[in-house]
Chains A and B, each alone.
Chain A
Amino acid sequence: MKILKKKILAEIKGTRTTKMEVEAPLVARKAKAGQFVVLMAKEEGERIPLTVVSADEKTGTITLIFQELGFTTKLLGSLVPGDELYSIVGPLGHATEIKSYGNVILIGGGVGIAEIYPVAKAMKDAGNKVFTIIGARTKNLVILEKELKSISDELFITTDDGSYGREGFTTDVLKELLAEKQHLVYAVGPIPMMEKVAQVTKPYGVKTVASLNALMVDGTGMCGCCRVTIGGEVKFSCVDGPEFDAHKVDWKELMVRSKIYCEKEKHICKLNNKQV
């Protein structure tokens, strides 16, 4: 559970996007695109889910990329190579269904860019034509451009402020691509982004999958913290997901539930803002 490597991929005031390579042999052996781990940075820490960006069975290591936004991600980001995580378990969740669909659009927003990387790679390896759209608030938050370019047939970059690539949102590019026949749209990113993607693709009837980022505790189906409503039925993101049909997700509910500990989060960040 040792951290072997660490690299800051992006940094702007208030947040960083950090990449870490971690020792996790059992996970590295089995992890497939779309799956995640649940880890604790310290014994008194929270259990948090993070997507497995890549896995190396030979070295027994996995790569995680996360945005340092809240208390625990900042704590994790403060660790350095040589530090041991307190715990890590996985791979959890259902793997992405990889097959030859035809034309596949992958959309990554913010740290979601890292999360679509393993899926994009697997889709390309399965013989799909891969169009990748990545979006970030500003140039300094765009990550993995080189990596994604090498595995996509076409890569599009958007920034909210126009400081890099095209000014605007990933859904602007999506609308244009939908003029051609597409067989699958796969999106990971902030909840409003994924919701917008679903709205845009709906009239085209194209299968749209979103990988949800619900809050979790155990990650093994024991508590129901990560419950979401899919097509009117309650599902647990950790064992039934994390991917779901984006047209069936109750996005409003997901957004509301994701904010349940905002007050507590503010409190613990304030108390610790000098220590982390």
Chain B
Amino acid sequence: MQPIKPKELEPKSRIAGFEEVVFCYTEEEALKEARRCVQCKDPTCISGCPVGIDIKKFIKRIIKKDYKGAYLTIKEKNDFPSICGRVCPAEYQCRKACVFTKKGEPFASGKSINIHFLERFVGDWGLHSSLRGAEGDEAISKDEIASRPFPPHASYGGTPPYACNGGAGARKDMIGKKVAVVGSGPAGLCCAGELARGGVSVTIFESLHKTGGVLRYGIPPFRLPQGVLDFEINCLKKLGVQIVPNVIIGKGKTLDELFKEEYSAIFLGLGAGTPSFLKLAGENLCNVYSANEFLTRVNLMGAYKFPESHTPVNVGKAVVVIGGGNTAIDAARVALRLQKINNIEPNVSIFYRRTEIEMPARRLEIWHAKEEGIKFKLLTQPIGFSGDDKGHLRKIQCLSCQLGEPDSSGRRRPVPMEGSEFEADCDLAIVAVGLNANQLLTKETPSLKVDKWGDIEVNSETMETSVKNIYAGGDIVGGEGTVIEAMGMAKKAAKTILERLPRNSKS
């Protein structure tokens, strides 16, 4: 049977706004796709999931139309199915491990089960059930499952349908135990959820005015609507997790002060928030942006709605995005939409120094970018920027590359070719070549051992840092990674923290 693809918005109508591009499966589509799963006796897909979701079981429950059961199965391991189902690079993870993908292929075969789309179907079923205040085990009809995309900034205030057991106060032996989580990105949110379910009182401290970390400022609403993000975070609040925005641990409060306030442990989910630049001439010209700045202005500060939102972002007539990961693709697709919204002829190119196979981005994002009209200039390495007398970017200078021997990442190394210099018009450039550890806290805390890149060193099993009772996970530990990888580390940390918390006496 052919794999089932969910509906998508037409490229022309997509780029006129920030509406979500990929629709949820309808019930019929989900059932068709779920039935393609052969329910392997020894499923290999589960080992491909960084948080070990029982994929075989949740798919089986979909087949039986037990959507509540499927939801609870996923929730046993993953608090955020509506997020992960939208952003997980499943083609490198569970789908690659699926029995339908041949060993040794660089990413999942087209025949592998669309586990991520099924996960999203289940997550969104949970979201919609809560919106309708659904009770009981009725099967949901085709019409009731949303088959339209979410508007980018709708807010969903509903109660999650089936709050999992737990929450502060749920366990007598954990009453009064407090843990602080620093950062409300994927790692922090996941750790908080696990700890709350363990009966601990959790407070998340977030430095920005809005929660979600990279889920909010980095991933555009046409991939992850902010209303969905709000809903998933709200589920944590229902578990008793407190979230305090506008507090920078390290500046407004120190780690020592948290311990003095009787937090038994601290989890650091600080993220890799520092942008890398290329260190090229002209990189500080006006309109050379880091992808972080560009995306933060648009996604977090709403710059696409300027002047209703007061934060501006420049738009550009000839935009070049440098990089080949999801961040580069996101930035390119945002830049294109800004052009369309501002009645500028769409003209966005991605310059990448290797070829498409080596691009770390999700294949779906690359495909969507092409559909939307983004040009790909591969085997191209920028070597400089030049501007006009007002200090604004006008041109980008590049070299063409060839692929040589594999480098330490296992990918073939790009080798710039002598004499291949060329120049292209460019009045706005976005540098999306990677992110490094955010060192705001670690620089203030010398007792926290970091490696030469500023990443926090941890015990790989317990996730404990060099300081007792301080744990860390996510990009601040592993360097740039995915949402689900961050969650895998957060779960390890939460498990250790729960095991090590001194229990209240039983009497």
Contacts and interface: CB of A to CB of B under 8 A. Distances in A.
A17 B85 CA distance: 51
A38 B283 CA distance: 26
15 contacts: A26-B253, A44-B308, A47-B311, A92-B251, A217-B296, A217-B297, A218-B207, A218-B208, A221-B273, A222-B217, A224-B290, A224-B292, A256-B391, A259-B286, A265-B312
Interface of A: 26-27, 30, 40, 42, 44-47, 71-72, 75, 86-92, 217-218, 220-225, 227, 229, 234, 239, 253, 256-257, 259-261, 264-265, 267-268, 271-272
B72 interface: no
A257 B393 CA distance: 11
Nearest to A268: B307
A256 B207 contact: no
Contacts of B155: none
B296 A218 contact: yes
Contacts of B311: 45-47, 217
B47 interface: no
Contacts of B283: 234
A192 to B, nearest CB: 15
The 6 closest A-B pairs by CB, nearest first: A256-B391, A223-B293, A264-B312, A87-B209, A26-B252, A222-B273
Contact of A90 (B208, B252, B307, B308): B252
Interface string B287-321: 10110110011000110001111111010000000
A45 B253 CA distance: 25
B438 A224 contact: no
Contacts of A261: 312, 314
B92 interface: no
Given A89-B246, A256-B390, 8 more contacts: A27-B252, A30-B251, A30-B252, A47-B301, A86-B209, A221-B273, A234-B284, A257-B391
Contacts of B279: 234
A168 to B, nearest CB: 30
A260 B314 contact: yes
B284 A227 contact: yes
B273 A268 contact: no
A269 to B, nearest CB: 9
Determine the main DSSP class of B at the interface with A.
loop
A265 B311 CA distance: 10
A222 B301 contact: no
A108 B307 CA distance: 33
Contacts of A217: 293, 296-297, 301, 311
B246 A220 contact: no
B245 A87 contact: yes
Contacts of B312: 261, 264-265, 268
Contacts of B289: 224
A221 B277 CA distance: 13
Given A88-B246, A217-B293, A221-B438, A44 B309 contact: yes
Contact of B248 (A89, A229, A272): A89
Interface in B302-353: 302, 306-312, 314
Nearest to B275: A224
A53 B306 CA distance: 31
B307 A45 contact: no
B439 interface: yes
B440 interface: yes
B301 A224 contact: no
Contacts of B207: 89, 218, 220
* Candidate in A234, A257, A261, A264 with the most chain B CB atoms within 10 angstroms: A264
